[in-house]
Copies of this chain bind each other. A is one copy, B any other.
Amino acid sequence: ATDHSPMVAAGRAVFLMASSAVTLTCGNVCVLCNNIVSFNLFKILSFQSLKVILTQESLLVLDYRGLSLERWLVLELAPQLASQTHSLPFEFRALEAILQHKVNKLQTWLNDVEPSILDTLESLVDPKIVSADRSKLHFLLQNSKSLSELETDIKVFKESLLKILDEDAMIEQLCLTKWTDPRIFEESNLGIDHCEEMELLLENYYMQAEELANKTRELKGLIDDSESVIFINLDSHRNVMMRLNLQLTMGSFSLTLFGLIGVAFGMNLTTAFEDDPRAFWLVTGFMFLGSGLIWRRLLSFLGRHLHPSTPSLVIQTLQFHYTTLLYV
């Protein structure tokens, strides 16, 4: 009577039984859906891009997207479900296969993103670098975008698992074999309960997803921390350069100040010293010595004011050279 239009939107479906896999067209799906539904022993599950109808002995995958998923469904999942090595009921094996596939995909994604982020951060945080390499920044930005998407995916996956785990009734419903096979049902009331095992299985994958979520969160935190360190590094370099610049500006100021004396004596105006042979040496000496002293005074003020640590070495060397120059 009623149709299930919200369940069959894209019209692509794969029907997997324990022994075979068939790709279905939209029409077939609807027929099949109604058949399954009429048997009354089915469970609809949805994980992001995957909607499945799980029965006791078949798995109907609806509305999947992407070719790689189809290939996996037909080429890998089908034989895996067909193999009879496991002693577990069909619905367990099907669910485990789907969850394992999903977790593997997320894990692979994280494995792709993590090392490249760590490498990029490692090279960006390097304290010797004056300016950040912009191509690496761009790369980091794209990776952290990818990381956000991964985080969302893991979150959605966790939520869909949690929705099942939070309702005991839903887990009961998932143990389809238990309700059809009287032998299993009796066993269940003894020690080995299907529901408990189903809960363990789902919890196991929830824990794996949780672990992935923790790793992505740590990675995001590391990116934030590294950015702070990059900022402090860049700021520190700037401060060091600014101090060197200030020291040189002090030197230039001193030289300009005392150079003015030279300029004054260079004017075509009459001074009393034109013919005094000592005047040249006195004035020149005064110029160089005076600028040297003022510079030294300025530097020592800066030194007292800013408590310099290491890079004043060059200035000391320079001053030494300057002083040497004066005495040569």
Q: Which residues of A contact B (CB under 8 A)?
A: 1-3, 6-7, 37-38, 40, 44, 46, 87-88, 125, 127-132, 134-135, 137-138, 140-141, 144-145, 148-149, 152, 155-156, 187, 190-192, 197, 200-201, 204, 207, 210, 214, 217-218, 221-222, 225-246, 248-253, 255-260, 262-277, 279-280, 283-284, 287-288, 291, 294, 297-298, 301-302, 305-309, 311, 314, 317-318, 321-322
Contact = CB atoms under 8 A, between A and B. Distances in A.
A88 to B, nearest CB: 7
B234 A235 contact: yes
Contacts of A291: 260
Contact of A241 (B155, B227, B239): B239
A265 to B, nearest CB: 4
Copies in the complex: 5
Contact of A130 (B145, B257, B307): B307
B233 A141 contact: no
Q: Which 9 A-B pairs have the closest CB atoms?
A: A127-B134, A131-B236, A265-B267, A262-B263, A269-B280, A128-B307, A301-B314, A264-B284, A266-B266
Given A132-B232, A201-B6, A266 B262 contact: yes
A43 to B, nearest CB: 11
